[in-house]
């Protein structure tokens, strides 16, 4: 099977490509990436000369270009997205373009070409939950422009599935962590700043709760959705591992032998959801998926990967950048 993966130079996309090519001889992968700020060719340097892998620079909003690329492939997995919430608060326009227009362009093409598509979405479409867990048909209640654009893409996909019978499956995942994650995100930012003995900013009191999942487990679920997912359905992917941000940071500092004195509490960001939570029983029961990685071992593996990549570990520019929304109007 020949897969077209969008956003494959990013965190989750690159891990998915590496995992698939390592574990199966049945796939060829074409990676389409616009090479924006979250992309890094180093993520896939080990397979850049593989006959099973091809990289093509391009933007998923370019319909003519994407028509030609999708025509040559059997299915599309759309990892491409603007995903950093703080950036969406500062400037939502790129999120509308990539997350809505981009997803729509792919959706329209795969419908006309009778191809299959897996849309990678997020638990953030359900918004903050004080109690309970979201299931696949829970009400959308996005709090940030980022989450709203991902919800909008899901609604477009649902409409195409009903109206045109498009072969599309949606997966929604909780917070990923692991190797190759962009340095603006909580866990890699903490690792990099701690290594360099820099202050680690914590929004508010650090009490915001996220369900953390190791990226390999997410990739397994995406593959199963491609293989077994029912067209027109959505599947929640959760780590069943709800932890508040402050506890995550303290655990990283403990594993790295660093002092809690590096923690610095800062002004909370606007619309900061307190808690995300999803029930992934459907994915477990219907796709045969399960979580394989426990959080502490996953963190150890993640820290070790950054320690083994000094060019990334010592580049603290991104980790030290001011919070984008503080400079917004």
Q: Which active-site residues does the annotation give?
A: 123-124, 146
Contacting residues for 149 by C-beta, under 8 A, at least 6 apart: 82, 88, 92, 95, 96, 98, 99, 100
Q: Which of 90, 170, 114, 186 is nearest to 137 (CA)?
A: 170
Token output for 98: 């990539």
| Interatomic CA distance for residues 2 and 113, integer angstroms | 15
Residue 210: enclosing H or E segment and its boundaries?
Answer: strand 209-214
In whole angstroms, what separates CA 164 from the centre of its chain?
28
Give the whole-angstrom CA distance, residue 219 versus residue 182.
17
- Length of the chain, in residues: 329
Whole-angstrom Cα distance, residue 33 to residue 40?
Answer: 10
């Amino acid at each position: 099977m020949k897969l077209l993966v969008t956003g494959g130079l990013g965190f989750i996309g690159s891990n998915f490509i590496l995992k698939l090519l390592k574990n199966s001889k049945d796939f060829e992968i074409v990676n389409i990436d616009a090479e924006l700020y979250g992309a890094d060719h180093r993520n896939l340097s080990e397979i850049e000369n593989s006959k099973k892998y091809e990289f093509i620079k391009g933007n998923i909003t370019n319909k003519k270009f994407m028509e030609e690329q999708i025509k040559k492939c059997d299915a599309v997995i759309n990892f491409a997205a603007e995903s950093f919430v703080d950036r969406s608060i500062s400037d939502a326009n790129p999120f509308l373009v990539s997350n809505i227009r981009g997803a729509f362009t792919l959706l329209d093409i795969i419908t006309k070409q009778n191809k299959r598509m897996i849309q990678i979405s997020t638990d953030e479409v359900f918004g903050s939950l004080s109690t309970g867990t979201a299931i696949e048909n829970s009400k959308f209640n996005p709090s940030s422009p980022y989450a709203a654009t991902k919800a909008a893409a899901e609604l477009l996909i649902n409409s195409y599935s009903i109206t045109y019978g498009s072969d599309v499956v949606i997966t929604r995942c909780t917070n990923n962590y692991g190797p190759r994650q962009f340095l603006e995100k909580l866990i890699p930012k903490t690792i990099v700043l701690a290594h360099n003995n820099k202050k680690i900013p914590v929004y508010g009191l650090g009490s915001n709760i996220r369900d953390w999942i190791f990226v390999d487990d997410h990739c397994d679920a995406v593959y199963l959705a491609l293989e077994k997912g029912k067209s027109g359905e959505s599947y929640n992917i959760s780590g069943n591992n709800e932890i508040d941000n402050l506890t995550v940071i303290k655990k990283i500092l403990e594993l790295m032998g660093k002092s809690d004195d590096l923690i610095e509490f800062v002004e909370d960001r606007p619309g900061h959801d307190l808690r995300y939570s999803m029930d992934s029983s459907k994915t477990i029961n219907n796709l045969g998926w399960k979580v394989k990685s426990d959080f502490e071992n996953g963190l150890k593996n993640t820290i070790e990967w950054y320690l083994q990549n000094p060019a990334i570990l010592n580049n603290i520019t991104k980790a030290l950048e001011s919070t984008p929304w503080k400079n917004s109007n």
